[in-house]
Amino acid sequence: MSVSLSALETRLQNRLGFTSLSTLQSSQIREALNASVGRALTDGVPGLNRTFVSCTLGEFTAAAVTMTSGNDYLESNSGENFVAAGVLPGDILILDGSRELLVHRIESTDTDRIYVGSRLEQTYTSVSLTIWRRSLSIPTSGKVLRVRDADTRRSLVYDPEGIEKVPFARGTAQVYTPTNNAEGSGERLIALTPCPSEVTDFVVTQAYEIDRLTSDGDLFEIPEGVIDAVLTRAVRAIRGWTSNDQIEQVVAESEVKDADDQLLDRDGGRGFFVK
């Protein structure tokens, strides 16, 4: 469902009991609505996320490569396209059967090169290269809420330092780390650690990506049932910014919890409430 920014502003104004708005209040209402959508996404409010399946690509054996001492990249002898092969930052490189490195980046203008982030002291000429591909591609930059192995149903644990702790480990993935392919396609990624030792499906739940709105006609693409959760967060933000009344702030916080409880209780045979 699409709801215009001006329509949400009117509904928020009614909740706040404002009959007319000063320039400052108009700016605060618009800021509060944008902030409250972001907070609802971060809070994992039901109805503002999507679930899909993505898979790792497993092992890839490249044609012979060469890496010259003093360079920070290795290069395919035959012009192999590593972008087309699905090689991404964080993937594991095994050079000449034993030298372990990580993919730092692949540039769209040099698809036959893999940059490793620092210069190497040794020259490798026409040697083997095995690549273990550990990353999942995800559609937007929205917050990753959950990652689960599709076969075992086991949930992975979020760890921003996953690759740092065990960079070359392979086996059953235990943790996930959201990252970006900044120098390449710009896509959002999830790096898995340990790197899965075979092609594996994962179920990913990700929050929507909603751009900041600035014009009256701009549209929020959110379900009607979620609007209450957004508006209660906006009221809480306004109260926090403008009021020193502790009772008003406590009531605003309680309304946020009630709106979330209503969303949790709307489906299924039994409901539950969080207080």
Whether residue 64 is found in the same domain as residue 189: yes
Name residues whose C-beta falls within 8 Å of residue 274's C-beta, 6 or more positions apart in sequence.
257, 260, 261, 264
β-pair partners for 131:
60, 93
Residues 87 and 26 grouped into a single domain: no
Same domain, 124 and 171: yes
Rounded Cα distance, 81 and 72, in Å: 18
Residue where one domain finishes, among candidates 190, 206, 222: 206
Cβ atoms < 10 Å from Cβ of 54: 19
Q: 91 and 201: one domain?
A: yes
- Within a domain: residue 65? yes
* Under 8 Å between Cβ of 39 and 108: no
Same domain, 189 and 247: no
Domain of 228, in residue numbers: 2-48+209-265
Is the residue at 68 inside a domain?
Answer: yes
Asked if residue 270 belongs to a domain, the reply is no
pLDDT of residue 242: 75
Alpha carbon distance 188, 66 (integer Å): 29
Residues 252 and 202 in one domain: no
β-strands 175-180, 157-158 pairing: parallel
Structure token digits, residue 140: 């937007």
Residue 275's pLDDT is 36
Number of domains in the chain: 2
What local confidence, expressed as pLDDT, does residue 234 receive? 87
Query: Do residues 168 and 224 both lie within one domain?
Result: no
pLDDT per position as a tens digit, 263-272? 555 455 444 4
Domain boundary among 172, 187, 206: 206
- Per the domain annotation, does 274 fall within a domain? no
Asked whether residue 213 carries a pLDDT value surpassing 80, the answer given is no
Task: Indicate whether 272 belongs to any domain.
Answer: no
Q: If 0-12 CB within 10 Å is exposed, 13-18 middle and 19+ buried, where does residue 61 land?
A: exposed
- For residues 93 and 228, state if they share a domain: no
**Which of 228, 167, 227 minimizes the C-alpha distance to 193?**
167
Residue 72: give its domain's CATH number.
Answer: 2.40.30.180
| pTM across the whole model | 0.74
271 part of a folded domain? no
Task: Choose one of 160, 186, 206: the last residue of a domain.
Answer: 206
Residues 132 and 242 in one domain: no
Q: What are phi and psi of 238, to 5 degrees?
A: -60, -45
Distance between CA atoms of residues 169 and 147, nearest Å: 19
pLDDT score of 230:
85
Q: Which two tokens stand for residue 214?
A: 């600035």
Is 86 found in the same domain as 42?
no
- Nearest in space to 105 (alpha carbons), one of 116, 94, 119, 93: 116
Q: Mind listing the pLDDT tens digit for each residue in 22-42?
A: 888 888 888 888 888 888 887
Q: Are residues 194 and 227 in the same domain?
A: no
Span 38-62, pLDDT tens digits: 888 877 777 788 899 999 999 999 9
Going through 108-149 in order, the beta strands assigned E by DSSP cover 113-115, 124-133, 135-138, 144-149
Residues 163 and 105 in one domain: yes
Which pLDDT value is given to residue 274?
Answer: 41
